[in-house]
């Protein structure tokens, strides 16, 4: 498999879909919002973007299956599976807040081999594949070198539909906001992880996530020299619905706190 060649095709698919999303935002209005659940928003833009991506990816690897947010296709691949979020940050998109992204990962036997995150408004393409470095628009990236929480800036997300563990989460917030330069909530997990990969954030933690939220971004972090765990310190993050990302130092410091409350 020539992953470099596959990446170039995925790049074109991503940029083309990003252009579609960018243009639709100019004429979007709130009458076009749908609700999948409590505070779980979607629009025709998400669905159409996913259909565009899926149709194009099928041409690259016809035998591959898909895990997608909008479930526009139901196909499980024995060896290869694409994991796609066509518009990560839908709530931002709907409200006109300019941070949302496309996230595409390719797994082989449940192991990541390619990851792409495209932040649409800044035209920033983060990408990597097996055997390569992680890149931002052609420039190699790496996680930060900060070693203590006291010099770190972290990213997170807030619960918006499942509040069962809200109290534990608030306790984690409280400790980290007192020990760091601050916490940021951008609204796109894929972008949060991409920013960890390029050193803008020193670490990131969140729960109630899905595979399509984190698959590409987590692989970027790993390929950029960082670490990925669940809240208990285990390696399973795709299906655990929780994630801690960072460089080795900061990731471990965050884990010490999440392990106290989860």
Q: Which residues are annotated as a binding site for Mg(2+)?
A: 69, 85, 87-88, 213
Q: Which residues contact 5 (CB under 8 A, 6 or more apart)?
A: none
- Phi, psi dihedral angles at 202 (to 5 degrees): -85, -20
Residues of each annotated binding site: 69, 85, 87-88, 213
Q: Which two tokens stand for residue 126?
A: 């983060």
Q: Which two tokens stand for residue 234?
A: 């285990």
What is the length of the chain? Answer: 262
Distance CA 216, CA 117 (A): 7
Distance CA 121, CA 93 (A): 10
Determine how many CB atoms are found less than 10 A away from the CB of residue 223: 24
Please, are residues 24 and 15 in contact by the beta-carbon 8 Å criterion? no
Please, are residues 64 and 83 in contact by the beta-carbon 8 Å criterion? no
Distance CA 11, CA 116 (A): 8
Burial class (CB in 10 A: 0-12, 13-18, 19+), 130: middle
Q: Which two tokens stand for residue 129?
A: 């594949």
Distance CA 100, CA 41 (A): 14
């Amino acid at each position: 498999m020539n992953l470099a060649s596959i990446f170039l095709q995925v790049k074109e698919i991503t940029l083309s879909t990003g252009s579609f999303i960018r243009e639709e935002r100019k004429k979007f209005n709130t009458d076009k919002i749908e609700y999948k659940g409590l505070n779980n928003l979607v629009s025709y833009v998400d669905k159409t973007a996913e259909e565009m991506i899926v149709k194009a990816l099928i041409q690259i690897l016809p035998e591959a299956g898909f895990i997608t947010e909008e479930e526009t296709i139901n196909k499980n691949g024995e060896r290869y599976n694409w994991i796609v979020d066509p518009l990560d940050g839908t709530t931002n998109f709907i409200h006109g807040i300019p941070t949302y992204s496309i996230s595409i990962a390719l797994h082989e036997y449940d192991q990541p081999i390619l990851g792409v995150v495209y932040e649409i408004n800044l035209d920033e393409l983060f990408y990597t594949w097996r055997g390569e470095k992680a890149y931002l628009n052609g420039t190699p990236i790496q996680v930060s070198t900060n070693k203590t929480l006291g010099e770190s800036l972290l990213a997170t997300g807030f619960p918006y539909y499942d509040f069962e563990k809200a109290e534990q989460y608030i306790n984690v917030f409280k400790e980290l906001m007192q020990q760091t330069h601050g916490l940021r909530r951008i609204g796109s997990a894929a972008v949060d992880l991409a920013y960890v990969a390029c050193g803008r954030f020193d670490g990131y933690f969140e729960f109630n996530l899905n595979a399509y939220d984190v698959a590409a971004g987590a692989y970027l972090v790993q390929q950029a020299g960082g670490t990925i765990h669940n809240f208990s310190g285990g390696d399973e993050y795709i299906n655990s619905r929780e994630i801690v990302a960072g460089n080795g130092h900061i990731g471990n410091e965050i884990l010490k706190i999440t392990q106290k409350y989860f």
